[in-house]
């Protein structure tokens, strides 16, 4: 009985789909304008679709004695808003950085380090600072300079008073999850699978200090573990109390 009903349902579904496809096809073909006639309206282009997650790149800076002094591994996505001149319209552009097209450079000084990434007409500069009293470093500045064909002037977004990627000298800073770094009102940087070490590099990344987002991930297992420990304690206590009581009971008899 059941298989027959299923078959009937499938058959009617197939017929329905075929009818639907035919109807859509008919509507579409009826709407196609005669070939050779260009559409008259020219509306401004819609903001392009958001690209998928960016590819992870590996960027190194070497010092004057050819030793690696800054290490970075990360996927980068730029989120820029600017006014496109042909239409005088604000455009929100989300661009992925392509590691294979990037030229990287930089410099390392005792208490500051920079990483400069250039792809086509876009240059992104990271500035790191080290506090030699506290032995803590952080990302203190980000600058994006970009030239787009539909923008007259070169766009520059800069903030030199940031406080991101705080780490301890000799350690690397790691953030596996996507993180949005707000730079200016019109520019933010999305980072993916990030690990950086701007100071105290000896060959490879030092022990990683995870960002708070990754630490949040650890919070749930910690809570579950603590709850389990409390539960076990209660069971043990209940058992001990129960044993004591029954023991006392035997004694009175
Ligand atoms: C950067 O350095 C790391 C570790 O020293 C190395 O594995 C990697 O290949 C280097 N990447 C580049 C692009 O030089
Ligand atoms: C370059 O970096 C290496 C490793 O961190 C360090 O030992 C060396 O002194 C640095 N050289 C200069 C000129 O800063
Ligand atoms: C880009 O920035 C805009 C404005 O801040 C925000 O609404 C949008 O979600 C961002 N997009 C991405 C992919 O980060
Ligand atoms: C780079 O900028 C110049 C001048 O604004 C422009 O003519 C050129 O098309 C741009 N190149 C790319 C790849 O965007
Ligand atoms: C460096 O760290 C010390 C101790 O935390 C702090 O008192 C000092 O203001 C910091 N210096 C800078 C330039 O941030
Ligand atoms: C730079 O970043 C700081 C901290 O995020 C913020 O308070 C400040 O408004 C930013 N400056 C500019 C020019 O956007």
Q: What is the mean pLDDT of residues 30-52?
A: 53
For the whole model, what pTM was predicted?
A: 0.73
- The answer to the question of residue 199 being in a domain is yes
Residues spanned by the domain of 92: 57-214
Which pair of structure tokens corresponds to residue 182? 């707000």
Rounded Cα–Cα distance for residues 60 and 47 (Å): 34
Supply the mean pLDDT for the chain.
82
- Ligand 5 — pocket residues by CB below 6 A? 131, 133-134
Q: How far is residue 128 from each of residues 58, 106, 203, measured CA to CA in Å?
A: 17, 11, 19
* Ligand 4 pocket mutation, candidates 82, 147, 153, 154, criterion most atoms within 8 A of CB: 147
- Can you give the CATH number for the domain in which 203 is found? 2.40.160.110
The answer on pLDDT for 228 being more than 60 is: yes
- The answer to the question of residue 245 being in a domain is no
Cβ of 58 below 6 Å from ligand 1: yes
- The answer to the question of residue 167 being in a domain is yes
- The answer to the question of residue 83 being in a domain is yes
How many domains would you assign to the chain? 1
Half-sphere exposure in the Cβ direction for 91 (13 Å, CA):
20
The tens digit of pLDDT for each residue in 121-141 reads 999 999 999 999 999 999 999
- The answer to the question of residue 195 being in a domain is yes
Q: Greater confidence, 1 or 53?
A: 53
Q: How far is the CA of 100 from the centre of ligand 3 (A)?
A: 25
- The answer to the question of residue 18 being in a domain is no
Cβ of 202 below 6 Å from ligand 1: no
- The answer to the question of residue 40 being in a domain is no
Q: How far is residue 94 from each of residues 1, 38, 48, 55, 150, measured CA to CA in Å?
A: 56, 30, 8, 14, 16
Q: 24-29: long-range contacts (C-beta < 8 A, 24 or more apart)?
A: none
pLDDT for the residue 3: 43
- The answer to the question of residue 8 being in a domain is no
């Amino acid at each position: 009985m059941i298989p027959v009903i299923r078959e009937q349902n499938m058959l009617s579904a197939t017929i329905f789909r075929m009818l639907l496809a035919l109807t859509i096809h008919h509507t579409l073909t009826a709407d196609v304008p005669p070939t050779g006639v260009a559409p008259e309206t020219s509306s401004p282009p819609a903001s392009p679709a958001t690209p998928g997650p960016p590819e992870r790149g590996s960027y190194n800076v070497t010092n004057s004695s050819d030793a690696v002094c800054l290490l970075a591994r990360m996927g980068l996505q730029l989120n820029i808003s600017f006014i496109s001149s042909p239409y005088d319209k604000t455009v929100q552009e989300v661009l992925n950085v392509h590691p294979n097209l990037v030229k990287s450079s930089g410099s390392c000084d005792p208490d500051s380090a920079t990483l400069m990434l250039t792809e086509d007409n876009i240059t992104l500069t990271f500035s790191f600072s080290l506090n030699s009293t506290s032995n803590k470093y952080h990302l203190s500045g980000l600058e994006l300079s970009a030239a787009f064909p539909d923008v007259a002037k070169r766009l520059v977004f800069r903030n030199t008073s940031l406080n991101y990627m705080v780490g301890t000298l000799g350690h690397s800073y790691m953030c596996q999850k996507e993180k949005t770094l707000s730079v200016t009102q019109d520019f933010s940087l999305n980072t993916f699978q990030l690990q950086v070490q701007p100071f105290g590099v000896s060959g490879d990344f030092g022990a990683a200090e995870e960002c708070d987002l990754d630490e949040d991930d650890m919070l749930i297992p910690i809570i579950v573990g603590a709850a389990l420990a409390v539960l076990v304690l209660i069971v043990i206590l209940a058992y001990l109390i129960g044993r004591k009581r029954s023991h006392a009971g035997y004694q009175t008899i």
